[in-house]
Amino acid sequence: MPLDLDITRFANLALDPQDDGVWVVTLNRPHKRNALDLATVEELVDFFSTAPRAGVRAVVLRGAGDHFCAGLDLIEHHDADRSPADFMHVCLRWHEAFNKMEYGGVPVIAALTGAVVGGGLELAASAHVRVMDETTYFALPEGQRGIFTGGGATIRVSDLIGKARMLDMILLGRVHQGQEAVDLGLAQYRVEGSSFDKAMELARRAAENLPLTNFAICSAISHMQNMSALDAAYAESCVAGIVNTQPAARERLAAFADKSAARIRPNS
Ligand code: 1HE
């Protein structure tokens, strides 16, 4: 049964559903450079838990203002003076949100601008596609702040750029930007204009795929990365058994068979 995504229950996220099923999700605390406080993380959990069953076809995730996300709300963390157990539970909520994003089955395209730092990079790394513009830069300031990553950077950032480069970023505060960031794998796209416009274009294209196909792409691949090759191959065959025989695919396959479907050509 479809779930309800009532946008009025969200305060720190601004939600803007489009006609084609693409939802624009904006981190909406620009006065705090979209730092992630607990309330925002709970809204991310809520949205990304609900989206796969609410008819959301793709998500563009962006930050209001000049910066995508300044990471952990350091002021909230400072003022709360948390115990180790408290902060472990904070991190578990971050993981809940980011896992729902990565494994939820709905394509998430991050439109990056300005600072994508600390927990902001952990958030961006949980998206399936990252688009950066000329203002975007990536860093892990945890080393200098006297803290450590707690939102999955050890897994996702090292998956993107490798352990040695992640160590360099967090130990030495190295900042990556421009083409170098794309070459390292921090973003798949870099645009001179608006990363949001490009992300919308990509999200609309992804939303044209069948939802069950996108579910497999944006869930199964991540799950299979965590398995042995033997188990991943088995799981892949099970997923393909379901997805590749879905009734909705017959029309597309028939179009290929009757030569009305577009052929794949190199970029001109
Ligand atoms: C914040 C935060 C924040 C800004 N928590 N309030 N993250 C960091 O180490 C990054 C910290 N932030 C910055 O380096 C800069 O703020 C920015 C480069 C992102 C933006 O600079 P700028 O000059 O545009 O803004 P600003 O003047 O530094 O900040 C504007 C306001 O946002 C100010 O509040 P105000 O009330 O004084 O106006 C800042 O305090 C506030 N602000 N960033 C709280 N992060 C699960 S573990 C994850 C571990 C981490 O994420 S560590 C990385 C933390």
Probe target for ligand 1 pocket from 12, 27, 32, 33, with the most ligand atoms within 8 Å of CB: 33
**Whole-model pTM above 0.95?**
yes
C-beta separation of 142 from 120 below 8 A: no
Give me the active site residues, please: 122, 142
- Domain with residue 237: its CATH number is 1.10.12.10
- Asked if 150 and 249 sit in the same domain, the reply is no
For position 30, which CATH number holds?
3.90.226.10
Residue 244's domain comprises: 227-257
Query: What DSSP assignment string belongs to 16-60?
Result: EE-TTSEEEEEE--GGGTT-B-HHHHHHHHHHHHHGGGTT--EEE
For residues 180 and 237, membership in a common domain is answered with: no
pLDDT at 73: 98
> For position 4, what pLDDT does the model report?
83
- Indicate if 134 and 234 belong to the same structural domain: no
Q: How far is the CA of 35 from the centre of ligand 1 (A)?
A: 7
Please name the residue whose Cα sits nearest to atom 8 of ligand 1.
Answer: 70
- List ligand 1's pocket residues with C-beta within 6 A: 32-33, 35, 67, 70-75, 91, 94, 115, 117-119, 141-142, 145, 147, 149-151
46 in Cβ contact with 228 (< 8 Å) = no
Kindly report the average pLDDT of the chain as a whole number: 97
119, 172: one domain: yes
Closest among 32, 29, 55, 57 to 44, alpha carbons compared: 29
Biggest distance spanned by C-alpha atoms of the chain: 66
Domain count, the chain: 2
Dig out the tokens for 123 from the structure.
Answer: 């958030």
What pLDDT score does 243 carry? Answer: 98
Is 131 found in the same domain as 17?
A: yes
Chain segment 13-54, per-residue pLDDT in tens: 999 999 999 999 999 999 999 999 999 999 999 999 999 999
CA distance 204 to 89: 36
Q: Where are the beta strands (DSSP E) in 69-147?
A: 108-111, 115-117, 129-132, 137-139
Does residue 213 lie within any of the structural domains?
Answer: no
174 and 251 inside one domain: no
Q: Which helix (H) or strand (E) is 78 found in, with range?
A: helix 74-80
pLDDT digits (tens, 9 = 90+) for 85-114: 999 999 999 999 999 999 999 999 999 999
> Whose CA is closest to atom 31 on ligand 1?
32
- Compute the distance from residue 69 Cα to the ligand 1 centre, in Å: 9
Of 29-38, 61-70, 259-268, give the lowest mean pLDDT range. 259-268
Looking at the fold, whether 151 and 244 belong to one and the same domain comes out as no
Cα–Cα distance for residue pair 62/27, rounded to 1 Å: 6
Whole-number Å distance, alpha carbon 244 to ligand 1 midpoint, is 46
In a domain, 265, yes or no: no
- Helix residue ranges per DSSP H, 108-261: 119-125, 142-145, 153-161, 163-172, 178-184, 195-207, 211-215, 221-225, 229-243, 249-257
| Number of other residues whose CB lies within 10 A of the CB of residue 88 | 11
Distance from the alpha carbon of residue 252 to the mean position of ligand 1, in angstroms: 48
What pLDDT, in 10s, does the model give residues 162-205?
Answer: 999 999 999 999 999 999 999 999 999 999 999 999 999 999 99
- Percentage of the chain lying above the pLDDT 70 cut: 100
Q: Output the residue whose Cα is nearest ligand 1's atom 46.
A: 150
2 occurs within a structural domain = no
Q: What is the pLDDT of residues 123-152, one digit of tens each?
A: 999 999 999 999 999 999 999 999 999 999
Does residue 2 or residue 123 have the better pLDDT? 123
CA distance 30 to 25: 14
Confidence of residue 1 (pLDDT cuts 50, 70, 90): low
48 falls within a domain: yes
